[in-house]
């Protein structure tokens, strides 16, 4: 007699989803000042039953990658992460998660990432994410209306949280994993104006700057742009730039959007976010404390959020993080 554990192992080993890739020209990015590529590459994981069940529709999850990454990274096995394809095959095959479509979105840019925001310089990446990607993907694949979620890591975690606060009507769940440490709460950026001025000058000269400066430049191309100031394309006034950064973060967005968010039925807007104990610092402040402050802000505003702190750093446990995020989303779909 075959044991239950043997049968479970057999299902895990035999379940096999299908991975497809397609590209399209993003109208929302056409004509951008910094010449970001308008051709976008999308990777889709389809459940094993998809081809044999032509009338069946599936929940759909949009995955947002981090800075200096791309959609392929979600599928590339590493020591700490078997990749989405293997993860889904194992979880669904073992009966631990329902079948769903997974869509890895292309948020790349010439300065290491778009942060999934609209910019008069880089292009309208928020519109691309919330309009074009959804329309094109869901016209192409059979997604259930009312079972759409968004999930991301790092820059993508920021993108997921920001997007669901701005467009809660589009998504039924959100999982934000290690969501961009320097963009979680208010910082005293004006105290660091000289540092940023020097770093921006290095970038403008084509010299090596701190890698995270690319993230700040991307954000500033949204909140303090100057199309007449290449190659940074941000305001020449450093004080203006620092003040803009102080006013732009997830806690500030929550304050701006709380009344609207709280007017929605809370049970239709489940948000999960998590971070590791070893994230380090951002602008001289511990990122873990920034995370706790953000959660406290969300809670005080009545924005529904579940949070978790795990033992680890920013990238060493992405595989485990992804599983927790997908499990959370799956629990809200079923």
Mean pLDDT, all residues of the chain: 94
pLDDT recorded at residue 65: 98
Which of residues 269 and 272 earns the better pLDDT score?
272
Angle between helices 193-204 and 238-246 (to 10 degrees): 110
Angle between helices 250-263 and 155-166 (to 10 degrees): 30
**Helix intervals (H) in 29-153:** 84-93, 125-127, 133-140
Angstrom CA distances, 133 to 170, 229, 303, 310, stand at: 12, 31, 27, 32
Whether residue 276 is predicted with pLDDT greater than 50 in this model: the reply is: yes
What would the pLDDT profile of 200-223 be if each residue is shown by its tens digit? 999 999 999 999 999 999 999 999
The pTM of this model reads 0.95
How deeply is 210 buried, as exposed, middle or buried, from its count of CB atoms within 10 A (0-12, 13-18, 19+)?
middle
- How far is Cα of residue 165 from the mean position of the Cα atoms in its chain? 13
User: What's the rounded mean pLDDT across residues 215-235?
Assistant: 98
- Answer yes or no: are the C-beta atoms of 45 and 19 closer than 8 Å: yes
Confidence bin at 334 (pLDDT 50/70/90): confident
pLDDT recorded at residue 11: 61
Whether residue 36 is predicted with pLDDT greater than 90 in this model: the reply is: yes
- Answer yes or no: are the C-beta atoms of 176 and 150 closer than 8 Å: no
Whether residue 29 is predicted with pLDDT greater than 60 in this model: the reply is: yes
User: What's the rounded mean pLDDT across residues 321-332?
Assistant: 97
Whether residue 7 is predicted with pLDDT greater than 80 in this model: the reply is: no
Q: Write out the E strands in the chain.
A: 18-25, 39-46, 58-64, 101-105, 118-119, 123-124, 143-153, 173-177, 271-276, 281-282, 285-286, 306-310
Query: 136 phi and psi, to 5 degrees?
Result: -70, -45
Whether residue 67 is predicted with pLDDT greater than 60 in this model: the reply is: yes
Torsion angle defined by CA atoms of residues 247, 250, 255 and 257, in that order, rounded to the nearest 10 degrees: 110
How deeply is 267 buried, as exposed, middle or buried, from its count of CB atoms within 10 A (0-12, 13-18, 19+)?
exposed
Whether residue 70 is predicted with pLDDT greater than 60 in this model: the reply is: yes
């Amino acid at each position: 007699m075959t044991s239950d554990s043997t049968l479970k192992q057999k299902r895990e080993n035999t379940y096999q989803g299908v991975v497809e890739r397609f590209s399209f020209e993003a109208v929302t990015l056409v004509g951008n000042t910094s010449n970001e590529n308008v051709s976008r590459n999308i990777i889709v994981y389809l459940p094993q039953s998809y081809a044999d069940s032509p009338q069946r529709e599936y929940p759909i999850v949009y995955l947002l990658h981090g800075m200096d990454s791309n959609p392929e990274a979600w599928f590339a096995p590493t020591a700490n992460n078997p990749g989405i394809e293997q993860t889904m095959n194992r979880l669904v095959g073992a009966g631990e998660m329902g079948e769903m479509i997974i869509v890895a979105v292309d948020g790349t840019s010439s300065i290491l990432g778009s942060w999934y925001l609209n910019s008069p310089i880089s292009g309208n990446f928020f519109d691309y994410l919330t309009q074009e990607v959804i329309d094109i993907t869901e016209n192409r694949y059979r997604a259930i209306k009312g079972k759409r979620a968004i999930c991301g890591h790092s820059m993508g975690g920021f993108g997921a949280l920001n997007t669901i606060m701005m467009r809660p009507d589009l998504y039924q769940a959100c999982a934000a994993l290690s969501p961009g440490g320097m963009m979680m709460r208010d910082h005293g950026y004006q105290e660091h104006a000289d540092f940023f001025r020097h770093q921006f000058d290095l970038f403008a000269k084509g010299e090596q700057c701190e890698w995270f400066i690319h993230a700040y430049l991307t954000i500033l191309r949204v909140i303090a742009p100057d199309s007449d100031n290449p190659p940074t394309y941000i305001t020449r006034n450093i004080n203006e730039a620092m003040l803009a950064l102080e006013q732009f973060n997830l806690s500030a967005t929550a304050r701006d959007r709380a009344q609207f968010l709280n007017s929605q039925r809370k049970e239709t807007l489940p948000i999960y976010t998590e971070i590791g104990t070893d994230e380090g610092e951002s602008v001289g402040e511990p990122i873990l404390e920034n995370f706790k402050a953000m959660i406290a802000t969300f809670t005080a505003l009545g924005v529904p959020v579940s949070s978790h702190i795990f033992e680890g750093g920013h990238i060493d446990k992405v595989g485990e993080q992804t599983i927790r995020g997908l499990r959370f989303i799956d629990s809200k779909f079923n």
